Structure 1
Amino acid sequence: MLEFIAGFHPVTQAFLATLFTWAMTALGAGVVYVHRAPTRKMLDSMLGFAAGVMIAASYWSLLAPAIEMSEQQGWPPWLPPAVGFLAGGGFLRLVDRFMPHLHMNFPLSRAEGVPTRLHRVTLLVLAITLHNIPEGLAVGVAFGAVGAGFDSASLPSAIALALGIGIQNFPEGLAVAVPLRREGISVHRSFMAGQLSGMVEIVAGVIGAATVVYAEPLLPFALAFAAGAMIFVVVEEVIPESQQGDNTDIATLGAMLGFTVMMVLDVALG
C-alpha cells in the first residue's frame, strides 16, 4: 500500500488524501438520510472528538516536525514554528473577520464577517468551510514535507494525519447537515450543504503541498502556519460549540479521546 502511494507526486498524494477527508465529511452528512438523527449529546461528543484530533495533529504532525526541520535548515529551532504558528492564527482571524459566516445554533442576527444578505444555510456552510481550510493545508504540507525529503517527515506520518483529519470530518459533516434538517431544510439540501463544506480541503491541500514542494525553505513555516490556523479554529469555534449545551463533560471526554486517537495514529504509524 505504501509503495503504491509513494509512486505518486506529493501534490497528487495530497489530492488523494484530501479527497478521502472530503469523502468522510460527505459520509457524515449522509446521516440525514437515516430516519433517526443523533442526539445533541452525541453531536457535542463528536465535536469534542474533532477538537481533540485537531489539537493533537497540530503538535504531533505539524509543530514537532517544524521544530526539527528548522534546526536542520540552520534556523533557531523555535523561530519558524513561532512565526508560522502566529501567522496561521492571524490569517484565520482575518478570514473570520471579513468572510460572512454564521456559527451553528446562533440566530441570523449573530452572523459574523462583513454585512451580507446571504441565506442562513449559506452562512452556516461558510462557517464550516472556514475551519476546513487549515485542515486541508495541514494534510497538504505534510505530504509536501515527505516530498522534500526531510528525515522528520515520513509518508506513514502524513497518511496518519490524513486518517485523523478524515475521522474527525465525519462528525463535522454530520454537525452541519443534521441541524439544517432539524430547521426544516430538505434532506437533499442538508446533505449537499454538509458535504460541500469539506470540498475546500481538497483545494487547500493541493495548494499547501505545491507551495512546500516548490519552495522548500518555507516548509517549517508552512507546517507551523497550518498548526496555528487549526488551533485558532479549535479555540474560537469547535470547543465553544461543543460546550454550549448541557453535555460539557461528555464533550470534554470526547476531546480527550480524539487527542489520544490522533496521538496513537501519529506515533504508531509515523
Structure 2
Amino acid sequence: MIHFFSQFSPVIQALIATTFTWAMTALGAAIVFTSKQISKKTLNLALGFAAGVMIAASFFSLLLPAIEATEGTGVPTWFPAVTGFLLGGGFLWAVDKFMPHLHMNTADAEGSKSNLSRSLLLVLAITLHNIPEGLAVGVAFGAAAVHNDISYIAAAFSIAIGIGIQNFPEGLAVSAPLRGEGLSRWKSFFWGQFSGLVEPVSAVIGAAAVYFIQPLLPYALSFAAGAMIFVTSEELIPEAESEESDLPTLALMVGFALMMLLDIAFS
C-alpha cells in the first residue's frame, strides 16, 4: 500500500490521509446515534488518550525528523526545531486568544467576544486543535516527497494512522457535549464530523508549503509539533483531568505508547 501511495504527489497523499482522519472523527461522532448518554468518565478517557497520541507524534514523527533534516545543512541542528516549535505554540496561543471558542468544562467563552451560540463555540474549540493535526500530516508527507525515501512515507503513514485513531474518541468528545446541550442526534453528529474537516485543508497547505519551499521543512515539522503540544497542554489534559481520577493519565500513557509503537513499527 505504501508503494502504491508513493505514486501520488505529496499534496494528494496528504489529502487522502486526512480524509481518513476526518472519517475517523465522523465515526466517533456517530456514536450519538447508538448511545443515549456518554459518561464524563468516557469523555475524559478519550481526551487523555488523544493527548498521549499527540505528545508522542510531536516528538517521534515531527521533532526528531526536523532535527534530522537539519543535519549537514550548516545550520545548528537545534535552531529550526526550537524556533519552529516556539512559533507553532505561539501561533496557536494567538489564535486561542482571538478566536471565540468554549471549552467543554467551562461556563465562559474564551477569545474575542461573540454572539455565537454555546454549541457553535464548543465546535470551534475542537476545530482549533484539529488545525495542527492536519498540518502535522501534511508536512510529514511533504517531508517524504522532499527526501524521496520510503521510510519517510512510512513515517507519514504512522502519524496519519495515529491521529486517525485518536480522532475517533475526539469525534465523540465533540458530539456528546453537543447532545448534552440539547441538540438533536443529527445536528450533534453533523457538527462533530464538521470539526474534523479543517484537517484536510491544513494538511494540503502544509504539504504544499514544504514541498515547494523545501528549506521550510524542519521549521514546518517543528511548527506543527509546537502547535500540537500547545493544544494538548492548553485543552486536552486540563479537560481530561477535570475530575479526580487516574484513568485519564493511564489513557494518556496508552495513547503515547500506541503512537510510539506505530512510529517505530513503520520506520
TM-score by length of 1: 0.96
Match of 1:139 among 120, 137, 140: 137
* 1:31–1:37 Cα contact (<8 Å) kept: no
2:239 is equivalent to residue 263 of structure 1: no
For 1:117, give the aligned amino acid: N
Bigger CA drift: 1-10 or 80-89? Answer: 1-10
Unaligned runs of 5+ in 2: none
Q: Percent identity?
A: 60
State the distance in 2 between where 1:99 and 1:177 align.
Answer: 21
* 2:22–2:167 Cα contact (<8 Å) kept: yes
State the distance in 2 between where 1:205 and 1:5 align.
Answer: 16
- State the partner residue of 1:19: 19
Bigger CA drift: 75-84 or 36-45? Answer: 36-45
User: CA offsets, 1:188-219, max 9 Å, x none?
Assistant: 11001111100000100000000000000000
Query: In the superposition, relative to structure 1, how do residues 94 and 34 fare at CA in structure 2: closer, same or farther (>3 Å)?
Result: same
- State the partner residue of 1:117: 115
Name the SS for the 1:264 alignment partner.
helix
Q: How far does residue 37 in structure 1 lie from its aligned partner after superposition?
A: 3.5
State the distance in 2 between where 1:6 and 1:196 align.
Answer: 29
Q: What is the aligned-residue RMSD (CA, Å)?
A: 1.2
* 2:25–2:196 Cα contact (<8 Å) kept: yes
User: CA offsets, 1:57-83, max 9 Å, x none?
Assistant: 000000000001111322111000000
Match of 2:170 among 169, 172, 188: 172
Number of corresponding residues = 267
For 1:161, give the aligned amino acid: I
- State the partner residue of 1:3: 3
TM-score by length of 2: 0.97
Name the SS for the 1:8 alignment partner.
coil
For 2:94, give the aligned amino acid: L
- State the partner residue of 1:28: 28
Match of 1:192 among 190, 193, 205: 190
Q: How far does residue 105 in structure 1 lie from its aligned partner after superposition?
A: 2.5
* 1:45–1:250 Cα contact (<8 Å) kept: yes
State the distance in 2 between where 1:8 and 1:150 align.
Answer: 12
Name the SS for the 1:72 alignment partner.
coil
* 1:54–1:165 Cα contact (<8 Å) kept: yes
- State the partner residue of 1:58: 58
State the distance in 1 between where 2:35 and 2:218 align.
Answer: 46
Q: How far does residue 245 in structure 1 lie from its aligned partner after superposition?
A: 1.9
- State the partner residue of 1:41: 41
- State the partner residue of 2:246: 249
State the distance in 2 between where 1:165 and 1:35 align.
Answer: 24
- State the partner residue of 2:208: 210
* 1:65–1:152 Cα contact (<8 Å) kept: no
